[in-house]
Amino acid sequence: MKEIVVISGKGGTGKTSITAAFAILGGSDVIVADCDVDAADMHLLMEPDLKISEDFYSGEVAYIDQDLCTQCGKCQEVCRFDAIPIIDGEYTVDSLGCEGCGYCARVCPVAAITNSSQNVGKWFISGIRTGSSMVHASLNIGAENSGKLVAQVKSGSRALAERFGKNVVLVDGSPGIGCPVVSSLSGASFVVLVTEPTVSGFHDLKRVYELVKKFRIRAGCIVNKADLNAEVLGDINSFLSEEGIVLLTEIPYDEKFTEAMTNGKTIVEWDDKLGEIVRGTRERIREILRLQQEKRMKIIFTTKGTEWDSAMDPRFGRTEFFLIYDEGTDSVETYDNRAIESEAHGAGPKTAQKLAEYGAEILITGNGPGGNAAAVLQTTGIEIRVGAGDMTVREAYEAYKAGKLNKA
């Protein structure tokens, strides 16, 4: 089962619109999880038919029994959150301010204070118009622990996928970098970053990707409203190249997205031209996942030709070709990298970004990639073996299998 998580560093980038479009394209084969529990809105486009609704309890809140309270005020003195005001002459608990630490209950001389589990929201399982199911939730106003509610939504969606034999869980994550996003990313197979070419959009893209890197999850990026600012778009593309993030697509600004939403439709149902861009993006994600699944069976060589007896190219960034050998199927494919010679700078990171799409486990080369390219490859988990610069591809493969090539 694959879990695709769609997130954005900031709100308003079009994350949910794109996720909903992916859900429509996936049809009955995809379980949808709306993990934006603080401001859930997938239901606006998915037309959920509620099947199951359950309360969600997380954290505790204090309660003062007025029949036992002696009005000593010790609870108010120790509360660091100012959550015990006096109302109509009685010490009461402000449930929004209470953190459930239990200190007030410990100091109460007459045991008038108890802590109880707090109902912070609800989670739901619904049938949706794709013929599949969606797990979603609603967090109460002012409630905390949204990260735990997200975990419940994800757990429910995985259980549904296993129960009904679905291969994909599609997650609409929260914006930002807080606990809900961390919980959304847990267990993900691939992350789709949705951004826009604005100063704030780029800034928040960098912040959220720092989080993704800590999970060591492959990521791709959709630049929505790509024609808003050419300068920032260039900065975003440079960042993606340096970090080894796959540029999935650039979508131009178009008010048809808004028209579609106001009519309760996704863009793939509303506009053929924009819909085709989204369809192509989904197919590219599926191909990346397919290659990832085959990751442990693929070895990539830097070469000067396209045959097993071709000479190895000791360079990485400006190697002439890549030869990709799939041990599982005993098949070979090649990639012509000679166009990179026209690049004045950044050949290594750009080559590494392209290489990452093949989902290989091993790179065999001569001198090894430079620092920036090596950093990109490190995020993909590709192991680098060096010392094969004066061999043929066949000899390099045999040397690797014999354990004669060094790790970079």
- pLDDT of 295: 47
Contact assessment for residue 266 and residue 17, using Cβ atoms and an 8 Å cutoff: yes
- The answer to whether the beta carbons of residues 313 and 320 sit under 8 Å apart is yes
| 328 pLDDT higher than 80 | no
Contacts of 317 (CB under 8 A, 6+ apart): 340, 347, 348, 349, 350, 351, 352, 369, 370, 373
- In this prediction, residue 317 has a pLDDT band, given cuts at 50, 70 and 90, of confident
Mean of per-residue pLDDT scores for the chain: 90
- How far is 300 from 398, CA to CA, in rounded Å? 14
Domain 295-407 falls in which CATH fold? Nucleotidyltransferase; domain 5 (3.30.420)
Write down the pLDDT at residue 168: 95
CA-CA distance, 100 to 270, in Å (whole number)?
A: 48
Instruction: Quote the pTM value.
Output: 0.71
163-193: per-residue pLDDT in tens?
A: 999 999 999 998 888 888 998 998 898 999 9
pLDDT (mean) for 325-333: 80
Same fold, 2-47+128-293 and 295-407: no
CA dist list (Å): 140 to 42, 122, 153: 17, 8, 15
**Distance (Å, whole) CA 179 – CA 120:** 16
One-letter amino acid identity for 209? Y
What are the extents of the domains in the chain? 2-47+128-293, 57-120, 295-407
Q: What is the pLDDT of residue 344?
A: 63
Domain 57-120 fold: Alpha-Beta Plaits (3.30.70)
Q: Is the pLDDT of residue 220 over 90?
A: yes
Average pLDDT, stretch 392-403? 92
- The arithmetic mean of pLDDT across residues 125-139, rounded, is 96
- Read off the pLDDT band of 201 (50, 70, 90): very high
CA distances for 216 relative to 7, 278, 349, 355, angstroms: 15, 26, 18, 17
Structure tokens at 40: 């859930």
356 pLDDT higher than 90: no
Name, of 2-11, 190-199, 348-357, the range with top average pLDDT: 190-199
Contact present, 295 and 359 (Cβ < 8 Å): yes
Give residue 371's pLDDT.
Answer: 72
Residue with tokens 């199951």: 52
The per-residue pLDDT for range 359-397, each reduced to its tens digit, is 677 899 998 787 777 776 766 667 889 999 999 999 999
- Mean pLDDT lowest for which of 141-145, 236-240, 404-408? 141-145
Indicate the CATH number for domain 2-47+128-293.
Answer: 3.40.50.300
Q: Percentage of the chain with pLDDT > 90?
A: 67
pLDDT at 401 over 90: no
